[in-house]
Chain A
Amino acid sequence: MLAEVQTDWWDSFVRALLLRDANTLWVVAGVLGLGIASGAVGSFLVLRRRALTADAVSHATLPGIAVAFMVMLGAGFSGKSLPGLLLGAFLAGLLSMVVLVLIRRTTHLKDDAAIGITLSVFFGVGICLLSFVQQLPTGNAAGLETFIFGKAATMLAADARMIGIASLVVVVMVVLFFKELGAICFDEGWAAARGWPVLALDFLLTGLVVLVTVLAIQSVGLVLAIALLIIPASTALLWSHRLPVVVLLSALLGGFGAWFGAMLSASIPRMPTGPVIVLACAVLFIASLVFGRRGIVQRWLSRRSLARRVDRQHLLRACWEIMEQDDVASVPLDRLIEWRSWSRRRVGVCLRRCTGRGLLELREGGAVRLTEAGRLRAGRIVRNHRLWEAYLIRHADIAPSHVDRDADAIEHVLDADLISSLEAVLGATAGSVPPSPHVMGGEGRP
């Protein structure tokens, strides 16, 4: 029984995959184009920090669709022509952006409130108009309601073709105006100063966003249309920060998510297309968030190793400095704890790691002693530390952005001349451990 169901499912999946069905072919092609277009446009939108404005646009399309339906019906057409409905949606989307900008410019309300107001009121108008449409004798309003949650399966070949072509136009526009759109996304002020027509470019981007949103509402629905714009772009930003890479990656991710979602919903019964597409994109995002180049795992690992290295350096340096100051051969544990103001436990954990690496050895009576390797290592750490401090003091106006205190070898970051001049300042010979630069200010140091 179960096997039978699985075969069914597999069969239809393969059928969809191999595009045996002419209609499916078109639907998949249309959705694929849509995913690519919205991925590309979305990356500019996200970089411009306007992600949620697309939500206002998509909700605002509803009254546009309803009005277009009624107008077409009044003019004697069937009212269900997709290009006509989408034209209405496009105009309503543009209108919502105008209202949004007006609220933002002429009130003290912030962006978020402006978006929220526009979105909910336009949508409310749409719902009211839909209840009128339902009362029309020819109204068969069920068709319009599909725009709220989307229904790619109802897409006709002609519709899919139109969506595909429109998506192609969007992609071409993005390629043509790539440089210009990038300029306003990264630094609007700079772009304006360089003489770019910022307002016109902003309008172009808005137009593209509205267009893509309008194209998306039929397959993913207006509630989720924003996902196609935001999720692939945010995913791409987890991998790269170079604009061409981001846009390309975002387009590919959007295309893949849309295609995969459409296939899945075509082959499994009771899988709504829009939500499945969104979930497909979301899975890619989550995977990138976790495993990506700047992902959680990577960052957690590097942070942990950093913390351990810093602790180890602190401990070794403390040993060196105590030995230097007290002029002793081994350091009592209590003295160490007092020096670093760490908890006993933390010192213990760190000690164990250092002894494990053969840098320290425990002596009787609760004292530690640097091994030969540890002595070498601690010497280098102290030297680097003091050179960095001297550098900070000497070259303070530029220092903070340059300091990489974890650079094991200071030579990799600062050039040799600078190091030797710092060493000269500290009164040390090359390679030896210079005395501490803490000479000024009575209260700076214990």
Chain B
Amino acid sequence: MNWQLYDTWLVITGALCAMACALPGAQLVLRRRSMMGEAITHAVLPGVVIAFLITSIRDPLVMLLGAVVIGVLTTVLVDFVQRSGRTEIGASMGIVFTTLFALGLVLIRAFADDVVIDPHVVIYGSIELSYLDQTSLFGWSVPRGAVVNGGALLINGLVFLVFHKELKLTAFDESLAAAMGFRPRLVQGILMAMTAATAVAAFETVGSLLVVAMFIVPGATAWMMTDRYGPMLVWTLVLAAATALLGHVAALVVPGWFGFEGMSTAGSMAVMSGVLFAAAWAFSPRHGLIARAVGRRQLSLRIAKEDVLGLLYRHEEGARSGDRPLTAGDLREALSVSRSIAVAALRGVRSAGQVTIESNRLQLTEQGRVAARSLVRTHRLWERFLWERLGLRPDHIHGTADRLEHFTSPAMIEELSAHDEGEDPHGRPIPPAED
């Protein structure tokens, strides 16, 4: 890999662009309006073309104005179609943005001689060429794309700072916001205008079709990583910047693996945002697939261990002389969990010193018996409670009590103890709390 100043600027431009888009995008994700990002980025096309046709110059400010107008118009139209046509929100978005996009395409084709908009740029963007188009900023010569996207990021950042409260509140609870006089529709309008303006700024960098990835994916990924609004926005920005860096590196490195020479940086950025999402999906500490699977397994392991103790205790309780002690095989059968969990549960209670195994005979230790007694006590207290207080039939309560016994806090046991009448509904003794 041959990294040059060109590559640094390219990553900076891409990162500024991705970060500028990701901020309003995160809000859209929180509002369940991600697809408004898709809708607005598509709908902006005719706005830009018309603005261009009217002024016949490629004045960035005019284009921006056209975009903002069409962005707000899209929101209004989607709302309008949804209300007056009783159309589902998804369908009304689809109708509005495909129509506007089709209009844009027709205009481009019809006025191809007057409108110098390259369909190729519309799809791919031209981030690779952004370095060539330099402009001067405070006496420094920097790529124009970096200035445009940096400006968008700056403005979006300011809006998010100034309207921090308002954006958060209206996204979470529109009716409270309205009751307080915070005008949720106005705030939403600001957000949509911001989305449209940002989309136009990002147009030439990543293209109008790929910009959706920059809007939605970093925000969604950030939501997988944190449960707080402020940190989520920070994560969003970091992930967006990482998307640009990884995207460009991948665009330089990956084609070589397959014997190609290069690939679209914008496309590669979109792919990398997906890779980051997949990583968060798998490894996020709280919401990740792995963390959740581990948590589930630990829970079922704990339940299985407690069940082992309970089974042994009940067996001891009902055993007459001459009954054979339980074997590991008996337990595994009785537990009705997967084999690996049963094995792990047995290993767990043994290493905790609660159960001994001698020539495949399982025996509770004194320590294990204390733990088991308290569990069985909880179970039978629950049965008593369910039968006595809730009026459930005795033959229906075992399963419920079986689940509840694993999730009972000491305070709840204390409350249940009030119903300790010495016996459960089946006539079995409720073991005392202490010896």
Q: Do chains A and B touch in the complex (CB under 8 A)?
A: yes
Residues of A at the B interface (CB closer than 8 Å) are 46, 49-52, 54-55, 103, 106-113, 115-117, 119-121, 123-128, 130-132, 135, 145, 148-149, 223-224, 226-227, 230-231, 233-234, 237-238, 270-272, 274-276, 278-279, 282, 285, 289, 294, 296, 299
Contact A289 B210, beta carbon cutoff 8 Å:
no
Residue of B nearest to A227 (CB): B98
Contact B98 A107, beta carbon cutoff 8 Å:
no
Would you call B267 an interface residue if the criterion is a C-beta within 8 Å of the partner chain's C-beta atoms?
A: yes
Docked complex: B81-114 residues within 8 A CB-CB of A:
81, 84-88, 90-95, 98-99, 101-103, 105-106, 109-110, 112
Given A112-B32, A121-B217, A55 and B277 touching (CB < 8 A)? no
Given A109-B223, A116-B35, A124-B274, A226 and B109 touching (CB < 8 A)? no
Contact A223 B110, beta carbon cutoff 8 Å:
no
Contacts of B103 on A, CB cut-off 8 Å? Answer: 275, 279
Would you call B255 an interface residue if the criterion is a C-beta within 8 Å of the partner chain's C-beta atoms?
A: yes
State which of B144-152, B258-266, B351-359 sits at the interface with chain A: B258-266
Contact A278 B268, beta carbon cutoff 8 Å:
no
**A128 CA to B119 CA in the complex, in Å?**
17
| 12 A-B residue pairs with CB within 8 Å | A52-B90, A55-B38, A108-B287, A109-B224, A121-B273, A124-B269, A125-B270, A130-B267, A223-B42, A223-B101, A238-B85, A275-B109
Nearest-neighbour CB distance to chain B for A108, whole angstroms, equals 6
Contact A117 B274, beta carbon cutoff 8 Å:
yes
Interface of B is mostly: helix
Residue of B nearest to A230 (CB): B94
Nearest-neighbour CB distance to chain B for A102, whole angstroms, equals 9
Contacts of B106 on A, CB cut-off 8 Å? Answer: 271-272, 275-276, 279
Contact A120 B270, beta carbon cutoff 8 Å:
yes
Q: Which 4 pairs show the lowest CB-CB distances between chains A and B? A: A124-B270, A121-B274, A127-B267, A120-B213
Residue of A nearest to B88 (CB): A49
Residues of B at the A interface (CB closer than 8 Å) are 29, 32-35, 37-38, 42, 81, 84-88, 90-95, 98-99, 101-103, 105-106, 109-110, 112, 119, 123-124, 209-210, 212-213, 215-217, 219-220, 223-224, 254-255, 258, 260-264, 266-271, 273-274, 277, 281, 287, 289, 292
Given A110-B32, A275-B102, A127 and B264 touching (CB < 8 A)? yes
Contacts of A130 on B, CB cut-off 8 Å? Answer: 264, 267
Q: In the complex, which of the residues A106, A237, A270 contacts B109, with contact meaning CB atoms closer than 8 Å? A: A270
Nearest-neighbour CB distance to chain A for B129, whole angstroms, equals 14
Contact B220 A272, beta carbon cutoff 8 Å:
no
Nearest-neighbour CB distance to chain B for A187, whole angstroms, equals 16
Contact A112 B35, beta carbon cutoff 8 Å:
yes
Q: In the complex, which of the residues B37, B99, B270 contacts A121, with contact meaning CB atoms closer than 8 Å? A: B270
Nearest-neighbour CB distance to chain B for A153, whole angstroms, equals 12
Nearest-neighbour CB distance to chain A for B192, whole angstroms, equals 15
**A231 CA to B87 CA in the complex, in Å?**
11
Q: In the complex, which of the residues A124, A149, A274, A282 contacts B213, with contact meaning CB atoms closer than 8 Å? A: A124
Contact A224 B102, beta carbon cutoff 8 Å:
yes
Contact A285 B95, beta carbon cutoff 8 Å:
yes
Given A52-B93, A112-B33, A116-B38, A227 and B102 touching (CB < 8 A)? yes
Given A270-B109, A272-B105, A231 and B95 touching (CB < 8 A)? yes
Contact B99 A132, beta carbon cutoff 8 Å:
no
Contact B88 A46, beta carbon cutoff 8 Å:
yes
Given A110-B32, A120-B213, A127 and B270 touching (CB < 8 A)? yes
Nearest-neighbour CB distance to chain A for B230, whole angstroms, equals 19
Given A121-B273, A127-B266, A230 and B95 touching (CB < 8 A)? yes
**A132 CA to B215 CA in the complex, in Å?**
26
Nearest-neighbour CB distance to chain B for A145, whole angstroms, equals 8
Contact A234 B267, beta carbon cutoff 8 Å:
no
Name which of B261, B269, B270 has the most chain A CB atoms within 10 A of its CB: B270
Contacts of B93 on A, CB cut-off 8 Å? Answer: 51-52
Contact A132 B277, beta carbon cutoff 8 Å:
no
Contacts of A120 on B, CB cut-off 8 Å? Answer: 210, 212-213, 216-217, 270, 273-274
Given A108-B287, A230-B91, A271-B109, A299 and B99 touching (CB < 8 A)? no
Q: In the complex, which of the residues B37, B85, B88 contacts A116, with contact meaning CB atoms closer than 8 Å? A: B37
Q: In the complex, which of the residues A125, A135, A276, A285 contacts B267, with contact meaning CB atoms closer than 8 Å? A: A125
Nearest-neighbour CB distance to chain B for A343, whole angstroms, equals 23
Contacts of B270 on A, CB cut-off 8 Å? Answer: 120-121, 123-125, 127
Contact B33 A132, beta carbon cutoff 8 Å:
no
Q: In the complex, which of the residues A50, A113, A272 contacts B29, with contact meaning CB atoms closer than 8 Å? A: A113
Contacts of A294 on B, CB cut-off 8 Å? Answer: 85-86
Contact B94 A289, beta carbon cutoff 8 Å:
no
Contacts of B277 on A, CB cut-off 8 Å? Answer: 117, 121
Given A46-B88, A107-B281, A121-B277, A128 and B271 touching (CB < 8 A)? yes
Name which of A103, A128, A238, A275 has the most chain B CB atoms within 10 A of its CB: A128
Nearest-neighbour CB distance to chain A for B141, whole angstroms, equals 29
Other 17 A-B pairs with CB < 8 A, given A121-B271, A223-B98:
A51-B90, A52-B35, A108-B223, A116-B217, A120-B210, A120-B273, A121-B277, A123-B270, A124-B269, A128-B271, A132-B255, A223-B42, A223-B101, A224-B102, A231-B99, A278-B98, A289-B85
Name which of B94, B124, B264 has the most chain A CB atoms within 10 A of its CB: B94
**A233 CA to B84 CA in the complex, in Å?**
16
Contact A46 B102, beta carbon cutoff 8 Å:
no
Nearest-neighbour CB distance to chain B for A254, whole angstroms, equals 13
Contacts of B263 on A, CB cut-off 8 Å? Answer: 128, 131-132
**A135 CA to B260 CA in the complex, in Å?**
7
Contact A128 B267, beta carbon cutoff 8 Å:
yes
Residue of A nearest to B258 (CB): A132
Contact A119 B212, beta carbon cutoff 8 Å:
yes
